[in-house]
C-alpha cells in the first residue's frame, strides 16, 4: 500500500534509504516520474504539513473540526458509553481530544503507530488533557494485519477513528482494502464502528488553492522532498531550485495531484542509472482523492452509513456501522 499522511507515512516508511530505492525506481524509468508521498513526511515535512492545516486556503482541517464539534452530541449518543476508541496514527490532535471528551466515558484509547516517539508524545498529551483515560498504544503498521489487545472490561464497542481524509491519499483499490481492514479491526459486523473523514469533490477552482497556497507553504512541503532526497543521497541529485511546485486536478481520478515540474532540461544520475528531464516534465509526488456519493457508497458498501457534513457538503465525517443505510 502507498500512503501519504504523517500518520501513515510513519507507519510504512521503513528507513531513510527507502526514498533512494524508490527514487531509483520512480525517476529513472520511462513514463511519468513518481516519488511515493509517504516520503514527504520527514521532520521538516511534518512541520510544514502542520502549517498547511492552519492555512486559510486549506479548508479540510477546520471544516472537519467544525463538523465534529457540531455533531459531537449526536455521535456520542449514537456510539453510547464505554467506547474503545482506536486511532490509526499518533492521535494527539484536537479532534481526537474533543471526541474522547464528548464520549464521556470511553473505556480506552488505542493509538496505533509504528513510531514509538509519536506514541509516547500522543499518550503524554492525552494524559494531560484527559487524566484518568486508559491509553494503550499499539506499535504496529495499521495497513498490515494486526490484532488489538483484549478490550478492557466494560468496553461496549470498538470505534476506529480515521479523520483528515487521509484515506484520500490511497488509490481507490487500496482505500477500499484499508476500509475493509479497519472494519475488521473495529468488528463492525459485531457492533463496532468506523468514523472516517473524507474530503468531498468540489470544483477545481475551490480545490486547487488548498494545494497551492499564496504563502507557498505547500510548495515548500512538496519541494522538501528534493531536499530530503539530496540529504539522504549525501549530494545534490536534483537541485530544488530547478523545480517548481504545481497542483493539478485530475478529473478522471477525482484527485488533486502534486507535481514537481522541471523548469529546464536536466540530466542527473542515481544508483548508477541516468535520470533525464525534458523542460516541463514532472515528478508526481501525491494524489489527494476527493469523494462523491458514489465513491463513498462503494467504500462502505454493505454497511449503514450516517453522514455528518457541512452545509455546502465540502467535507464529511461518516459513521459506519452494521446494517444497511
Which residues here bind ligand AVI, judged by CB under 6 A? 4-5, 52, 60, 164-166, 168-169, 211, 218, 286, 288
The least distance separating ligand AVI from the CB of residue 260, rounded to whole angstroms, comes to 13
Q: Is 308 helix (H, G, I), strand (E, B) or coil?
A: strand
Q: Alpha helix locations (H) across 104-249?
A: 116-129, 172-186, 204-207, 217-233
State which residue, 108 or 199, has the beta carbon closest to ligand AVI. Answer: 199
The angle that helices 116-129 and 94-103 make with each other, rounded to 10 degrees, is: 50
CA atoms within 13 A on the CB side of 209: 11
State which residue, 308 or 315, has the beta carbon closest to ligand AVI. Answer: 315
The least distance separating ligand AVI from the CB of residue 247, rounded to whole angstroms, comes to 8
User: Which residues 6+ apart lie within 8 Å of 291 measured at CB?
Assistant: 165, 168, 198, 199, 200, 201, 254, 299, 316
State which residue, 107 or 169, has the beta carbon closest to ligand AVI. Answer: 169
The beta strand positions in 49-169, using DSSP E, are 83-88, 108-113, 138-139, 157-162
The least distance separating ligand AVI from the CB of residue 316, rounded to whole angstroms, comes to 14
State which residue, 182 or 275, has the beta carbon closest to ligand AVI. Answer: 182
Q: Is the dihedral of CA 68, 74, 75, 77 positive or negative?
A: positive
State which residue, 96 or 165, has the beta carbon closest to ligand AVI. Answer: 165
The least distance separating ligand AVI from the CB of residue 246, rounded to whole angstroms, comes to 12
State which residue, 52 or 295, has the beta carbon closest to ligand AVI. Answer: 52
Residue 168, strand partner residues? none
The least distance separating ligand AVI from the CB of residue 286, rounded to whole angstroms, comes to 6
Q: Per-residue DSSP letters for 97-123? A: HHHHHHHSS-SEEEEEES-HHHHHHHH
The least distance separating ligand AVI from the CB of residue 251, rounded to whole angstroms, comes to 17
Q: Counting Cβ atoms within 10 Å, is residue 234 exposed (0-12), middle (13-18) or buried (19+)?
A: exposed
| C-beta nearest to ligand AVI: residue | 288
Amino acid at each position: 500500500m502507498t500512503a501519504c499522511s504523517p500518520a501513515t507515512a510513519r507507519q510504512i516508511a521503513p528507513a531513510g534509504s527507502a526514498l533512494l530505492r524508490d527514487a531509483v525506481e520512480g525517476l529513472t524509468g520511462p513514463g511519468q516520474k513518481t516519488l511515493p508521498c509517504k516520503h514527504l513526511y520527514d521532520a521538516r515535512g511534518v512541520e510544514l504539513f502542520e502549517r498547511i492545516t492552519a492555512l486559510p486556503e486549506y479548508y479540510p482541517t477546520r471544516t472537519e473540526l467544525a463538523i465534529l464539534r457540531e455533531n459531537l452530541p449526536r455521535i456520542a449518543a449514537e456510539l453510547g458509553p464505554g467506547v474503545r476508541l482506536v486511532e490509526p496514527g499518533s492521535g494527539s490532535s484536537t479532534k481526537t481530544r474533543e471526541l474522547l471528551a464528548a464520549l464521556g466515558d470511553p473505556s480506552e484509547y488505542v493509538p496505533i503507530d509504528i513510531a514509538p516517539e509519536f506514541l509516547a508524545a500522543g499518550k503524554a498529551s492525552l494524559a494531560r488533557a484527559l487524566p484518568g483515560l486508559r491509553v494503550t498504544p499499539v506499535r504496529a503498521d495499521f495497513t498490515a494485519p494486526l490484532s488489538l489487545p483484549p478490550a478492557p472490561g466494560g468496553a461496549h464497542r470498538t470505534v476506529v477513528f480515521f479523520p483528515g481524509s487521509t484515506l484520500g491519499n490511497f488509490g481507490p483499490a487500496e482505500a477500499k482494502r484499508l476500509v475493509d481492514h479497519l472494519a475488521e479491526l473495529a468488528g463492525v459486523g459485531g457492533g463496532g464502528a468506523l468514523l472516517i473523514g473524507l474530503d468531498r469533490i468540489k470544483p477545481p477552482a475551490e480545490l486547487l488553492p488548498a494545494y497551492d497556497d499564496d504563502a507557498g507553504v505547500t510548495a515548500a512541503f512538496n519541494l522538501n522532498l528534493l531536499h530530503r532526497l539530496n540529504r539522504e543521497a549525501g549530494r545534490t541529485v536534483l537541485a530544488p531550485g530547478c523545480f517548481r511546485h504545481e497542483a493539478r486536478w485530475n478529473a478522471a481520478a477525482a484527485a488533486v495531484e502534486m507535481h514537481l515540474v522541471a523548469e529546464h532540461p536536466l540530466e542527473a544520475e542515481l544508483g548508477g542509472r541516468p535520470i533525464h528531464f525534458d523542460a516541463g516534465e514532472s515528478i508526481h509526488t501525491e494524489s489527494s482523492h476527493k469523494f462523491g456519493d458514489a465513491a463513498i457508497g462503494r467504500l462502505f458498501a454493505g454497511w449503514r452509513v450516517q453522514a455528518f457534513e457541512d452545509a455546502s457538503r465540502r467535507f464529511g465525517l461518516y459513521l459506519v456501522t452494521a446494517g444497511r443505510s
